[in-house]
Chain A
Amino acid sequence: MLKFLFTKMDLQKYSQRKKHPVRNFFAVVVPVVLLLIGIQYAVLSVLAVRRYQKNLYKSEDVMLLSVAQEPNDSTFSLYKDKTWLESRFQITKTDSISLSVNLRDSVLQLELKGVVLKSSKMIDFKIDELFKHLKLGAYHHYFGEPALGESLLATIEKEPLIVKKAPRDSVEFANQSHVIDSTKQEAVHWLVELDNDISLKIEGVDQNTSGDWLDGKQFWWKQDLERLKTDLSKTFFFEVPDYKPELTIILNESDAKAIFRALPMKPQICIRL
């Protein structure tokens, strides 16, 4: 009997030693909370799309240009051509360099007063699902007029200034280095936020981009993280996050760089889907 009691006590001690109430609590709570936040984020993000669309079709200009009978594909295509030319013609009246994005022909053009300065073939592009289902009024809302770039972010500098101190005398000048490093490899990725809510992403790719691959990725991760922080903080409090349709274009790296450097800080951009 006594032996049995001792054995029972030892077993109780053994089982007590195994228990970690705080650890067990976190082992259950943390995954559950993370899962709930994740699901909440996913659901509210999808709701954001729906709400955005609802508001889009309720906006005055979209309603004004909507038609009872949507045109067929060929008519819609002609309509897109017309609006694109109208936008381009509107831009010719300004003195600054603008960008024409023709997704039908996969061509990007730098233009100044109607003159095509540079034409670059896109390697690839990706458009948001929203753009694939636009009705005529909504299409005009986005692409009927030139959009204005409100902010420009990039992995490279707009003007690659090299600050050089003037030498005090000719001896100091002789000792200075006069070689300009033009072989510098840099990742070329840039992002323009347009005034019509579109985020235009340009990714430069080259055969030698493996070295700066991480720089490019880091740039986009940083943008994604910034956005995620804002969205998560909203969904955490059951608010619907902001939705911004995106357009991603993959270009030759040197073209991406030349176009970025040529554009003004607030470029005018016209897009043809």
Chain B
Amino acid sequence: MSEKIEKSEGGTLKGILAKPVWGWFGFVALMFVAAALFLWLIFTVTPWMKSRASFYKFTPDTNQVAMGSVPSDEELRVDIGRLQHKIDRLTPGGVYLIVNTTDNTFELYQNKKLIRNGLCSTGSYIKLETDGEKHWVFETPKGALSIKGKITDPVWRKPDWAFVEEGLPIPVADDPSRYEYGVLGDYALALGHGYLIHGTLYKRFLGQPVTHGCIRMNDEDLEAVYKTLPIGAKVFIY
């Protein structure tokens, strides 16, 4: 008789579902549905509810607010004009240079108008470490700098890191091996603390961060920048 029962129930859907394996399947499925519902509540329903405008239409207690008044449109317009004028005056009226160290680009402005832009190379962000405690970070300084000096046919006086970087012994301060001619292009503009805007022999690297902190430009751009920027002109680096 029992065989009969199992046989007769095993053939129907009820019988199949009654088997233990389907019970576990159902249990796992139920857990998944519960978890999905929970996540839906958390990640969809809650943000949706929080973005309903009706929750934000808040009327503060008017008895507690100050009884001040908003300036008139005319007063506001006058203030806006005055402030805008103040801010506009802060932008140099003459010439200035902006250098973007992330994209390695520059923009040259004259009378608040862009007159030239192009590629340049800035600091590589390489941290050169020696066996000792000495290290150098080849980074272009950021902020508002100014042209401290202008040089034609500049000569590169190689600092210590230039020798350390190539695995060479560091020579004495005025050793002839410290001087390299023709590697900085025809012009250089000093930004202070040893940083220069100069030319390069490696023009294929323009647009990439490859320098030791100086700003490299191609010959034409360098000439334009050199001839446009006077000593004292602002250089904004970001």
Contact = CB atoms under 8 A, between A and B. Distances in A.
Contact of B236 (A34, A64, A115, A167): A115
A14 B128 CA distance: 78
Contacts of A172: 167
Interface residues of B, number: 85
A268 interface: no
Nearest to B238: A262
Contact of B102 (A45, A74, A115, A254): A254
A8 to B, nearest CB: 10
Given A46-B50, A64-B66, A7 B56 contact: no
- The bracket for how many chain A residues form the interface is 35 or more
Contacts of A164: 126-129
B117 interface: no
Nearest to A85: B83
B153 interface: no
B53 A132 contact: yes
A228 B46 CA distance: 11
Given A42-B41, A167-B167, A3 B1 contact: yes
B77 A258 contact: no
B5 A42 contact: no
A133 B143 contact: no
Given A65-B68, A67-B65, A7 B2 contact: yes
B179 interface: no
A166 B130 contact: yes
A136 B57 contact: no
Given A31-B34, A262-B142, A68 B62 contact: yes
A45 B166 contact: no
Nearest to B74: A78
Interface stretch (A48-56, A145-153, A194-202, A209-217): A48-56
A117 B45 CA distance: 42
A37 B37 CA distance: 11
A76 B15 CA distance: 71
Interface in A27-75: 27, 30-31, 34-35, 37-39, 41-42, 45-46, 49-50, 53-54, 57-58, 63-69, 71, 74-75
Contact of B69 (A35, A53, A67, A133): A67
Contacts of A160: 125
Nearest to A39: B41
A114 B53 CA distance: 37
A23 B29 CA distance: 13
B43 to A, nearest CB: 8
B80 to A, nearest CB: 5
B46 A112 contact: no
Contacts of B143: 95-97, 112
Given A27-B30, A35-B38, A64-B66, A82 B79 contact: yes
B38 A182 contact: no
A239 interface: no
A180 to B, nearest CB: 6
B16 interface: no
A20 interface: yes
A67 B64 contact: no
A129 B80 contact: no
Interface string A229-273: 000100000000000000000000010011001100000000000
A141 B165 CA distance: 53
A133 B210 CA distance: 49
Given A35-B38, A71-B70, A180-B124, A46 B102 contact: no
6 contacts: A31-B31, A34-B38, A38-B41, A67-B66, A130-B56, A165-B129
Given A6-B2, A115-B92, 15 more contacts: A26-B27, A34-B34, A42-B45, A42-B46, A64-B66, A67-B68, A82-B79, A89-B87, A114-B87, A118-B238, A129-B52, A162-B125, A162-B127, A164-B129, A262-B101
Report the 5 A-B pairs with minimum CB-CB distance, sorted nearest first: A114-B90, A38-B41, A167-B167, A31-B34, A66-B65
